[in-house]
Amino acid sequence: MIVTNTETISDYTIQETLGLVQGNTVRAKHVGRDIAAGFKNSVGGELKGYIELLTESRREAMPRMLAQAQQLGANAVVNVRFSTSSITSGASELYAYGTAVVVNPA
């Protein structure tokens, strides 16, 4: 499966557009990470606990999006984007989406 954040793929022609595909995950913050983040927020610095949380979330959402594309018969997903949103005070959603397509070498 070819995955790209561009609208086209070099050396390939889009033969068919199959539609929007998406994958998401909702994750809660760990209390320990939250305390460490609160401390870092007051003194400054990188919030490594949250970076790990977002990395894990992307690793969950991407395969879900690709599985949906595969079910549609796609061999590529173009124009891939990520979005995050707060669901509650302790949980956030990471949403991956793109356009499932069938491509052939040009």
Residues making up the chain, counted from first to last: 106
Give just the sign of the alpha carbon dihedral 21, 23, 68, 12: positive
SS in 3 state form for 27-75?
EECCHHHHHHHHHHHHHCCCCHHHHHHHHHHHHHHHHHHHHHHHHHCCC
| Confidence check: pLDDT of 53 > 90 | no
> What pLDDT sits at residue 44?
66
Q: How many other β-carbons are positioned within 10 Å of the β-carbon of residue 58?
A: 16
pLDDT per residue over 59-70, tens digit each? Answer: 999 999 999 999
Domains of the chain, each with CATH number or no CATH = 2-28+60-105 (3.30.110.70)
| pLDDT value at 93 more than 80 | yes
Closest CA to 57 of 10, 100, 86, 92: 92
Amino acid, single-letter form, for residue 30: H
Give the pLDDT score at 39: 53
The pLDDT value recorded for residue 36 is 53
Tell me what pLDDT residue 46 has.
74
As given in the structure block, the two tokens for residue 7 are 């609208």
